[in-house]
Amino acid sequence: MDAFDLDVRRHVYSSVVADGRPPTTTETAGAFGRDEPEIADAYRRLHDAHALVLFPDTTEVWMANPFCFAPTPHRVTAGGRTWTGTCCWDALGISGALHADAEISTECACCGEPLTLVVRGDALAEGADTLCHVLVPARRWWDDIGFT
């Protein structure tokens, strides 16, 4: 990953934190004073390197993990904003990435019953005995990251 791609990635993540959403390639091109196709190529390289996830066949950011920009059952209130987590790992990861306490409103994958987890400091103050299940073995996580 070269310095330009790292700069683009840093811009995407800082925009996510500032605006609650990732920048479009047009917005990032404006910020860098570059042509949009050049930024689109950088987004694709970051996707291929698993540093971002794009919606299929687009240059729109689906995940800047642990943050997700498609609906999921995992809503995370932290750092003065409500975020979406891709999965149980990422939902808790938003608290870690922001270094902030968090409340996670989610549901049981089996029955849909609402579940709440609260992170205070480094630990879970509520929901510590909730179960997390990882279905896919680690070496296959990126085969279909949306399913994982």
Partner 1 sequence: MVYLRSEEHLSRWLSDNGWEPGATLSAAKMNELSRAWWWTRLDPGWRPRSADESQAILTDLGLTGDFWALR
Q: What is the DSSP letter of 112?
A: -
Using CB under 8 A as the binding rule, the residues of this chain from 101 to 120 that contact partner 1 are 106-111, 113, 115, 117, 119
Tell me the residue type at 1.
M
Q: Cα(25)–Cα(115) distance, rounded to whole angstroms?
A: 36
Out of 81, 93, 103, 143, which residue is the one contacting partner 1 (CB under 8 A)? 93
* Nearest residue (CB) to partner 1, 82 versus 142: 142
Out of 42, 61, 87, 103, which residue is the one contacting partner 1 (CB under 8 A)? 87
Q: Does 3 bind partner 1 (CB under 8 A)?
A: no
Q: Does 96 bind partner 1 (CB under 8 A)?
A: yes
Cα angle, residue 134 at apex, residues 131 and 77 outer, rounded to 5°: 60
* Nearest residue (CB) to partner 1, 57 versus 135: 135
In whole angstroms, how close is the CB of 28 to partner 1 at the nearest point? 17
Picking from 34, 28, 26, 25, the residue whose alpha carbon sits closest to that of residue 14 is 28
Q: What string of H, E and C letters represents the secondary structure of 69-102? A: CCCCCEEEEECCEEEEECCHHHHHHHHHHHCCCE
Interface residues with partner 1 (CB under 8 A) are 1, 6, 9-10, 13-14, 17, 49, 51, 65-66, 74, 87-90, 92-99, 106-111, 113, 115, 117, 119, 122-124, 127-139, 148
